Chain A
Amino acid sequence: EDQVTQSPEALRLQEGESSSLNCSYTVSGLRGLFWYRQDPGKGPEFLFTLYSAGEEKEKERLKATLTKKESFLHITAPKPEDSATYLCAVQSVFFGAGNNRKLIWGLGTSLAVNP
């Protein structure tokens, strides 16, 4: 069964303390893996798309990497404004409901960065 698991569920860091969030997936044919950031009371905001194992993308203090089984979101020297829930979603090459390729969302990692 196609599945996306994010860990940890919650993470509390001190400002400047680097860490990584994990998104492990099981899908019948990966088309793409997406990372989004969601602030409380707001909609998800796109961060990265990764398509193939070995691919890496960076944006400010964030770096996303992809292997055949998982993706990591590395946060270097985080600041309080990086506090948010980080969502991972995996798109299958196969179609699910209607004519859409299946997009499976994880439950997210809630990150809190203390000053």
Chain B
Amino acid sequence: NAGVTQTPKFQVLKTGQSMTLQCAQDMNHEYMSWYRQDPGMGLRLIHYSVGAGITDQGEVPNGYNVSRSTTEDFPLRLLSAAPSQTSVYFCASSREREETQYFGPGTRLLVL
């Protein structure tokens, strides 16, 4: 039981490049979410999903897209990377929307 996994662990992008951050969970959780963590800002919700085929925006969705084609996977796409998207990104999952969340190890992203 791997829990929540994220790839890559670290990525450097140039401004304007696109990429996908991968997230997978093997706990059959319906609810998955993406956060970013920045110094002095705390964790902020980007997008979330309450089940396969259903996604919604969080507090800071601009510049990011998500999709949920399976229960297990919830990728986060950066459409055109900007330096302001330099951050640590965490994926989390839980059985239901408001239950305890289990976090992945994070992806550290640097946009030059």
Among residues of B, the one whose C-beta sits closest to the C-beta of A46 is B100
Indicate the size class of the contact surface on chain B.
20 to 34
> What's the dominant secondary structure at chain B's contact region?
strand
Asked if A41 meets B43 with Cβ closer than 8 Å, knowing A97-B59, A98-B58, the reply is: no
CB contacts (< 8 Å) of A45 on chain B: these are 103
CB contacts (< 8 Å) of B48 on chain A: these are 98, 100
**Stretch from A15-23, A55-63, A103-111 that touches the partner:** A103-111
Distance to closest chain B CB from A90 (angstroms)? 11
Please tell me if the beta carbons of B4 and A43 are within 8 angstroms of each other in the complex.
Answer: yes
The contact of A44 among B44, B58, B98, B103, by CB within 8 Å, is B103
Known: A98-B56, A99-B50. 7 other contacts (CB 8 A): A4-B42, A43-B92, A43-B106, A87-B43, A89-B43, A100-B45, A100-B58
6 contacts between A and B (CB under 8 A): A41-B106, A42-B106, A43-B92, A43-B103, A98-B48, A105-B44
Q: Hey, which bits of chain B sit against chain A, CB under 8 A?
A: 4, 40-45, 48, 50, 56-59, 90, 92, 97-98, 100-106
